[in-house]
Structure 1
């Protein structure tokens, strides 16, 4: 039954029978037969069928919600049994906002060094996607902003483990006459590149600029920090990044990092977003304990 539920989850995620079969490492006929057998067992149609995948029936959507929880529990149980027998092992899956990717190693490196049987999978996701993946059991924890700024608030029972306070800097091409610091109100003299508005970092930047009393129309927008840095390096724009991320990208490049000052509220807490205690594996519990040791 578990394998059939996994195939239903894959089909919903991939929205294509062939891709879902590939993700489950089976042939397309095998996947189709498994879905049909699941429908026969439950006595209801789950998938809307046509020349191609259309979607799930209302009954299929309800089954999908329970299937995600059942499959996650089965995987967690298997992981816990292996951990209890052999020690910490398996894959720790983290969703990380792009602006924190440069700092994630600070928190995972000591844990991985102490536990050579553990593997790490890091996915670059925006803050909204992290919450979605947590609820759907697709990541174990999220490194994100401590407070959500949209309607998709952190679900009840989820823990917010604050790690550090994020401050900001202007990243621009190096020049000998650059100032040592800048105020937010001085940023309107630069052509700026920003992350796109679906990213929480962009919305934070917009609020800080509004607090400083200036309006900036970005010359460049991208959902990729690498793309923004590429344009900065070519001298086409400057950008605003968290200080740790700015320092990371400035290394071995002719880029200047200028701290932004004079606005006390211009900082944001970054945190690990953790599922309720009852939903955590032994592996995740050990990782959370390691964070407490590091701090």
Structure 2
């Protein structure tokens, strides 16, 4: 049994069409079919339901598909690991990030790239549930998500910082004149929030409920860019993570105000597969994360933000990124 035979099989399962699978593998359809027959002979089971066209996989084929994906990932990881010993780490780190953590992901990837300059990074905006699926399906090497609220399964966790919440609005909004804003005041405004498929929104709904309040946004988005666009248009406010201040606080039209009532902080951190050994990219990210001091980096970024945000009182402009391991 050859690795390429498994690759052909996984491609067929993905494409669900013999001709498209052959084209994707850059082989003839007869070569693809011969490789699949050889795979069936080696394993002594039927893997594909055959007809005039692709119908589906047999029960045995479905089981092989899960094994084949893992074997191919391990094979690619082995090649990357051996190549990295000679030339340094290359390739692409695929990182799934919840929208609420996008304001902090740059600190993580910048340090990673400083240690591994020949590696590339692909950031995907995903929900926490999609990060779980991506790790399970070997589609990403790591994720940046909540660690304690709705925790993921079968992962190793590296805490990075704690998320707290502030109110964002345009500078001409009536609440912009306040030093701090209550949750009751915030909930009474025209709200633009993340949609309910995002864990951040579910956290905010729970926090509002602790004060006997209900969040009723008139606009929802699965992206904070969509939220920011509505804040810029005026009239809307949003309850956002404190990293929003670092990310968008340099925009003169927007102001950020702390919420008056204390609320629990949410731990945000790195999640990776619990497999051992880790794929080279995931292992390298873990090492650089454990070796870094994120608190100093983020505190410096917050100081810069205070200097550039003239419409925010620096006495109430806080941003914590506590390194934990």
Common fold by TM > 0.5 = yes
Larger Rg: 2
Gaps of 5+ in 1: none
CA shift, 1:32, in A, is: 5.4
SS where residue 121 of structure 1 aligns?
Answer: strand
2:59 aligns with 58
Any conservation in 1 of the 2:101–2:145 contact (CA below 8 Å)?
A: yes
Give matches, 1:87-166, under 5 Å: 87-149=88-150, 153-156=151-154, 158-166=155-163
CA shift, 1:175, in A, is: 1.3
> How far apart are the structure 1 equivalents of 2:257 and 2:74?
47
- Higher deviation after alignment, 203-212 or 183-192: 183-192
1:224 aligns with 223
The answer to whether structure 1 residue 5 and structure 2 residue 3 are counterparts is no
- Higher deviation after alignment, 97-106 or 49-58: 49-58
Cα distance change, pair 163–17 in 1 and its aligned pair in 2 (3 A): farther
CA shift, 1:25, in A, is: 5.2
SS where residue 269 of structure 2 aligns?
Answer: strand
CA shift, 1:129, in A, is: 1.0
> How far apart are the structure 2 equivalents of 1:237 and 1:174?
11
Gaps of 5+ in 2: 294-325
Q: What does the per-residue CA deviation read over 1:184-225, in whole Å, with 9 as the maximum and x for residues that have no partner?
A: 232222111222222111111111111121112221122222
SS where residue 9 of structure 1 aligns?
Answer: helix
Length-normalised TM-score, structure 1: 0.85
1:288 aligns with 286
Cα distance change, pair 36–252 in 1 and its aligned pair in 2 (3 A): farther
The answer to whether structure 1 residue 269 and structure 2 residue 267 are counterparts is yes
Give matches, 1:130-209, under 5 Å: 130-149=131-150, 153-156=151-154, 158-175=155-172, 177=174, 178=176, 179-209=178-208
SS where residue 103 of structure 2 aligns?
Answer: coil
> How far apart are the structure 2 equivalents of 1:28 and 1:180?
69
Give matches, 1:32-71, under 5 Å: 33=33, 34-35=35-36, 37-39=38-40, 41-48=42-49, 55-71=56-72
Q: What does the per-residue CA deviation read over 1:24-58, in whole Å, with 9 as the maximum and x for residues that have no partner?
A: 45368378535555445444443456787654332
Cα distance change, pair 216–79 in 1 and its aligned pair in 2 (3 A): same
> How far apart are the structure 1 equivalents of 2:237 and 2:77?
45
SS where residue 279 of structure 1 aligns?
Answer: coil
Any conservation in 2 of the 1:102–1:244 contact (CA below 8 Å)?
A: yes
Any conservation in 2 of the 1:185–1:213 contact (CA below 8 Å)?
A: no
